[in-house]
């Protein structure tokens, strides 16, 4: 009986082994969680984009408030409508820790590009850059309408 109990405990011990987690890349990765609206009124409504991020070495963000590492692009004019956001460091400088979390980006005072239009439709693209200058994947929102 004692041997049977030992054998069962050994089987349970080896059967309940925790699965190894896949390594997280040192290149940041993001996912779009949500956008607060699908229709905004120009000059008055704001859009709030919620993204999740993860980085295998934790080198996200900079101490300099003038440095922008998050890029939000209005795809109506992707060469000119690029909004930069600062991100404070997620870990102490020089440390290599896995980081993950969520961020909210607020875009205020959206306008119609053509004043003759009563509405326009666009999508937005978002990406983030780490201190090693690695850009994350780019995520894109669904269609968002801007109305007069």
Domains and CATH numbers, the chain: 22-147 (2.60.40.770)
- How many of the other CB atoms lie within 10 Å of CB of 51? 22
pLDDT tens across the length of the chain (148 residues): 656 566 555 555 555 544 445 567 889 999 999 999 999 999 999 999 999 999 999 899 999 999 999 999 999 999 999 999 999 999 887 788 899 999 999 999 899 999 999 999 999 999 999 999 999 999 999 999 999 9
Read off the pTM: 0.81
Contacts of 47 (CB under 8 A, 6+ apart): 35, 36, 37, 40, 106, 107, 110, 124, 144
Q: Which among 53, 58, 52, 51 has a CA at the least distance from the CA of 98?
A: 58
pLDDT at site 123: 98
pLDDT in the model for residue 95: 80
Q: d(Cα 62, Cα 136) in Å, to the nearest integer? A: 16
Counted residue by residue, the chain has a size of 148
- The reported pLDDT for the residue numbered 94 is 77
Q: How far apart are CA 71 and CA 22, in angstroms?
A: 28
Strand 124-128 and strand 139-140: the pairing is antiparallel
pLDDT of amino acid 19: 45
> What is the spatial distance between Cα 145 and Cα 113, in angstroms, rounded to a whole number?
12
Please report the pLDDT score of residue 146 as a whole number. 97
Given this model, what pLDDT does residue 2 score?
59
Structure tokens at 1: 């009986």
The Cα–Cα gap between 74 and 12 comes to 55
* Predicted local distance difference test score (pLDDT) of residue 92: 83
């Amino acid at each position: 009986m004692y041997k049977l109990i030992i054998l069962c405990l050994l089987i349970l011990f080896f059967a309940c082994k925790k699965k190894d987690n896949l390594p997280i890349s040192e290149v940041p990765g993001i996912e779009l969680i949500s956008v607060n609206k699908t229709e905004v009124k120009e000059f008055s409504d704001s859009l709030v984009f919620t993204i999740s991020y993860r980085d295998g070495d934790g080198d996200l963000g900079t101490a300099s408030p003038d440095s922008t590492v998050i890029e939000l692009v209005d795809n109506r004019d992707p060469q000119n409508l690029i909004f930069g956001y600062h991100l404070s460091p997620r870990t102490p400088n020089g440390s290599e820790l896995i980081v993950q979390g969520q961020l909210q980006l607020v875009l205020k005072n959206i306008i119609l590009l053509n004043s003759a239009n009563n509405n326009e439709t666009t999508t937005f693209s978002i990406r983030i850059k780490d201190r090693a200058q690695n850009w994350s994947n780019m995520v894109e929102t669904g269609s968002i309408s801007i109305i007069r």
